[in-house]
Structure 1
Amino acid sequence: MEVTTSRKPAPPLRTFSKDLAFSLGGHYTPRGKAGLGEIAGIDDDLLIVSKSGRYFLIEVFHNEEPVFDLLFTSYSVENREGELIRGLVTGNQIVYDKLSSYIKVCKTEDNRDVLIFDGAQRRRYVLRLKLQE
């Protein structure tokens, strides 16, 4: 699993991406001037994190083919209490179905509009999903 960002990410988005890679047991690769082809060839699964306008976006690729675009309106960073959770946690069935073949994701009965993951240094991220109706 490779995680990268848009070419010139803001520092908080870079930290977010590094923590996402940590949670998924993957590797963060700074994009810099590298083309997508160079980064996509590193691993079968690639996540690209970016911010476009007022939304954040995680693009999921498998074997260089787009699989799913995960839009979220905002995210918060909390201090994690308790055990570290590896992978993603969501109550959203669509998100779970789209991602479970490529990424470690757990389904819960609540939290339909959020996606949660744990980063390094006791950080817990809570993403507010932009639900596609």
Structure 2
Amino acid sequence: MTLVTTSRRSTPVTRAIAKDLAFATGARYLPRGKHGLREISCEHDLFIVFEQQKSDILMTVYQEGEPCLMRLVKSHETGVREGLLIKGIKTSDREIGMILDAGECPVIYTDDLEDGLFLSFDGPQRRHITLALEKIR
């Protein structure tokens, strides 16, 4: 099962994004606390860590204990969801989509490249989150 967590010193924004992504993907959310990455990687083959990096948020995807994908969250927008709740994610980033699609997360791909890379998902309590991403590696 996939796990979504934050850095040890997370901010309310990174926690909210991580919790909502876990909700949308059907993953487990773990408040990091004193859990080390080594401990987490022993229990989970796939996990995502959100951490604050100055004014941006860094999203790192780990597979089998090794970082396999890093994205900088350049901006995030939280709005009110219109209509029905949709489980899964909508993204223009094929790499993230393929990693999450391999699990139990439904992925909708879009080729809307005018806006660059984005990741969009529905959270609880009628929240809808859109993350503008930038490739790091």
Distance (whole Å) between structure 2 residues aligned to residue 91 and residue 117 of structure 1:
12
The change in CA–CA distance for 1:109 and 1:12 in structure 2 (over 3 A counts) is same
TM-score (normalised: structure 1): 0.86
AA partner of residue 27 (structure 2): G
Query: In the aligned structure 1, how far is the partner of 2:75 from the partner of 2:121?
Result: 14
Work out the CA distance in 2 between the residues paired with 1:9 and 1:66.
19
Contact between 1:2 and 1:42, CA under 8 Å: does it hold in 2? no
Structure 2 unaligned segments of length 5 or more: list them: none
Q: Counterpart of 2:126?
A: 122
Aligned to 2:8: 7
1:60 aligns with 2:74: no
Deviations 1:70-120 (A, max 9, x none): 212110100000122222211234544565445543201325432101111
> What does residue 105 of structure 1 align with?
107
CA distance in 1, matches of 2:95, 2:29: 26
Q: How does 1:53-92 map to 2 (within 5 A)?
A: 53-92=54-93
Partner of 1:41, secondary structure, is helix
Q: Is the 8 A contact 2:6 2:49 kept in 1?
A: yes
Contact 1:21 1:27 in 2 (8 A): yes
Q: TM-score, normalised by structure 2?
A: 0.83
CA root-mean-square deviation? 2.0
Secondary structure at the aligned position of 1:38 is classed as helix
Q: 1:37 to 1:93 in 2, by over 3 A?
A: closer
CA change 1:85–1:66 in 2 (3 A) is: same
Query: Among the aligned pairs, what percent are the same residue?
Result: 37
1:45 CA drift (Å): 1.0
CA distance, structure 2, for counterparts of residue 112 and residue 83 of structure 1: 26
* CA distance in 2: counterparts of 1:27 and 1:89, whole angstroms: 19
Bigger Cα displacement from structure 2, 86-95 vs 9-18: 86-95
Alpha-carbon distance in structure 2 between the residues aligned to 1:14 and 1:79: 18
**Alpha-carbon shift at residue 126 of structure 1 (Å):** 0.7
Secondary structure of 1:19's aligned partner? helix
Residue 2 of structure 1: how far off its partner (Å): 0.7
